[in-house]
Structure 1
């Protein structure tokens, strides 16, 4: 007999609060595993979907189960999955393509390609903070139709190129900095002054105050004598600043964007990143199979930002989303345990 399952459900567009209710236990399809969720993290997309509804997300079907970051234990393994077994501790991207694969539930179906084993000494709350941020970062950094950077290694050699990452203290920024440095790139990033040390601690060589009235000119000046590897515009509204900088520096003119880019200047290329696309190409294999397991075991990659545990149980998902939406949490990621 299958276990009972429950979820925090968005019953209709813009409904508030989420409703905790029984939902079908997911069945593992081809290439999938079923994970008993121990911790799930909150992302901006969660409050965007709830707040904006059909205005930006017309493709959503209701009732909708959100949640992209999960960590937990494998309880079932579907056909054509060889790298996991029942009992494995894992973290992965809950793609949310249907109700089975949203992370805000006790049992979730995950695509094995975008799931990673986690070390025994890594808490589920720590592991839950980074799947979406890491997938989004890696998709923008390494896919051939984006920045197409060199892959990360455990003994990177400086390659003489500098990457600009706007919003280095964000979840995506934190992962992008670590990956880019592991790939041999120098990283310039932006944050609030209180997070300068945080960004430098994970590998950024220079950090700039994103609120400075001279931020654009400061970055252009800093890039003098440097060869650009391109840029990653993570914070909404940062694209116009990043475009101006990249248009005036030597080297690559591509900008990976967290949102759909508009008003892209001549000579600059830009494209919106989707986290899950790396599962369909070699980037997913390289990152999830060849790099991450060893990187986590050897502590070469930190699971960051640090978790801020809001509470336990599905009934706390809504409060956690509201806290994230308030903008009062910085350089941490809100987590709910289940």
Structure 2
């Protein structure tokens, strides 16, 4: 099969990391063996993929040579392991995410991929291939942040009956609500009955409101945190979907009065505000395997069975809740594997805003 394979040595990756930019292509289209599946796995013929910043970051800084790149996918089941036959049939439409970029036999930017049979979701007829492929890294990061780390109820849990009289809904703060992860956070929080407060640039106000945000503030306003805390003084939970610059400090300031937890997507160190805790998440812990970033020298992450159980639960429920959790806006990139490289360069240059890039293979 054809697949996009990493080819950077450790010296080039460390140099890229120190410079904060990419030197050379770092990936090439090669013919490699179709992955061999185990009894609990399925083999998927890939039909389309969605692109994430983590894909080019793996190429530039993380992936050891000979690794298949890519996380988000949609496809058809081509082969079923012995233990997976109760849940899957050949020809079923399937979507999800894999930990692309560190394995030689596991990645989405390929004609075939393999995945644990319970860590993928069966795509219902009303969801297109392009839509289905967007419920990958961004969606599962939102789930990990809200349901696992902040303890917000799951989207498929029945809401408690409302009593007569005024009802106060708990509030959650989402920084960068117009990002793909932000849009999924907004929807999952709304499905749990929360009031969602978020930030965006004025041009994205209508977008985040369409996805369920109750109140949106301009993150560039010098009075934004004061305005948020005045209107929503009891927020104790936040997700920073940007996690760069001063974004996490912004979140901590929103939580300053009561304290609480800010979940971040990148390491932001330790909070300087008493009572406010920072907690970084890494979506790859959801796959239940130990791994290392920038191997062999990078930080190591232990296997987290509870995170894996959370991903299995999320994808098992997604066919039912997808009608209430919409995909982000989509931009189709033509060109197959060449289109993937084109789209990744657009992401590198910061040219993509308010949409998810999807490439048909």
**So what's the TM-score if we normalise by structure 2?**
0.83
Hey, what's the Cα distance between the residues in 2 that align with 1:269 and 1:200? Answer: 28
Which residue in 2 is equivalent to 1:313? Answer: 336
CA offsets per residue over residues 98-134 of structure 1, 9 Å max, x none? 1222111110112223211112232211211121111
Give the secondary structure class of the aligned counterpart of 1:25. coil
CA offsets per residue over residues 251-282 of structure 1, 9 Å max, x none? x6011110012131331122111214345334
Residue 294 (1) aligns with residue 294 (2): no
Which residue in 2 is equivalent to 1:228? Answer: 235
Hey, what's the Cα distance between the residues in 1 that align with 2:215 and 2:119? Answer: 31
Which residue in 2 is equivalent to 1:148? Answer: 151
Give the secondary structure class of the aligned counterpart of 2:65. coil
Unaligned runs of 5+ in 1: none
Hey, what's the Cα distance between the residues in 1 that align with 2:170 and 2:330? Answer: 32
* TM alignment of 1:195-210, pairs within 5 A: 195-210=204-219
Q: Contact 2:7–2:64 at 8 Å: present in 1 too?
A: no
Which residue in 1 is equivalent to 2:266? Answer: 259
RMSD: 1.9
* TM alignment of 1:205-284, pairs within 5 A: 205-224=214-233, 227-237=234-244, 238-248=247-257, 250=258, 253-265=260-272, 266-279=274-287, 280-281=305-306, 282-284=309-311
Using the TM superposition, give the Cα deviation of residue 27 of structure 1 relative to its aligned residue in structure 2, in angstroms. 1.0
Aligned length: 318
Which residue in 1 is equivalent to 2:20? Answer: none
Hey, what's the Cα distance between the residues in 2 that align with 1:198 and 1:307? Answer: 13
Residue 113 (1) aligns with residue 118 (2): yes
CA offsets per residue over residues 176-224 of structure 1, 9 Å max, x none? 1111110111110111111111111111100111222222222222222
Change (3 A) 1:83 1:244: same
Which residue in 1 is equivalent to 2:18? Answer: none
CA offsets per residue over residues 40-98 of structure 1, 9 Å max, x none? 111111222333x1xxx3xx321222211101111011242232221110111112251
Hey, what's the Cα distance between the residues in 2 that align with 1:112 and 1:32? Answer: 5
* TM alignment of 1:46-125, pairs within 5 A: 46-51=55-60, 53=61, 57=62, 60-81=63-84, 82-96=86-100, 97-125=102-130
Hey, what's the Cα distance between the residues in 2 that align with 1:253 and 1:271? Answer: 11
Q: Contact 1:69–1:93 at 8 Å: present in 2 too?
A: yes
Q: Contact 1:130–1:171 at 8 Å: present in 2 too?
A: no
Hey, what's the Cα distance between the residues in 1 that align with 2:104 and 2:221? Answer: 43
Unaligned runs of 5+ in 2: 14-22, 161-166, 288-304
Which residue in 1 is equivalent to 2:35? Answer: 26
Hey, what's the Cα distance between the residues in 2 that align with 1:239 and 1:288? Answer: 29
Residue 131 (1) aligns with residue 136 (2): yes
Using the TM superposition, give the Cα deviation of residue 229 of structure 1 relative to its aligned residue in structure 2, in angstroms. 4.5
Hey, what's the Cα distance between the residues in 2 that align with 1:328 and 1:178? Answer: 25
Q: Contact 1:147–1:229 at 8 Å: present in 2 too?
A: no
Change (3 A) 1:142 1:262: same
